[in-house]
Amino acid sequence: MRLFLIVSENQNELARTLRHQGIRVGEIVAYRAWRAIHPAWFQSGDDRLRSVYRQDYVWHPNEPASGDVRTHGIYSFRDVIRSREEYGYRNDGTLVFGKIKIWGEIVEHEAGYRSEFGKIVSLDYGEPALLEKFRRIYGVNQVLLNARKPP
């Protein structure tokens, strides 16, 4: 199954005109991809994950990503995505896939969501070396080795 992230001006205009209906929910678990700058001999690597389509947007550790749902927001999918083919990404570049929690204002779309806030909770698919690096940087998928066992 291929999922395509297409934002038309009509969707943005519709989101700007929506009135809040007073419905509140807790966090929603959703899925997305990030671009990882892979180090090469002519370029240094980067220690931050970036939006796939908004190249200037960086996801920082220990702070939620945020955006205005009336224009961009934080895009995510309802179903797990594991590959660039499932994501519908045709450009060059290395992608990392994982899970986020989203909250705040949320606009639901056919394949997923556009939210006001999002926070990485796990990094699950991608090149193993990059997964290890970014899991450490973002503090996700960590196993506590010295955790006390229950009696």
**Is residue 3 included in any domain, yes or no?**
no
pLDDT digits (tens, 9 = 90+) for 6-32: 445 566 666 666 665 655 667 799 999
Token pair in block for residue 63: 């702070």
Token pair in block for residue 128: 């193993």
**Is residue 126 included in any domain, yes or no?**
yes
**Is residue 147 included in any domain, yes or no?**
no
**Is residue 146 included in any domain, yes or no?**
no
Task: State the residue range of the domain holding 131.
Answer: 9-138
Q: What is the number of structural domains in the chain?
A: 1
**Is residue 4 included in any domain, yes or no?**
no
Q: What is the pTM assigned to this prediction?
A: 0.74
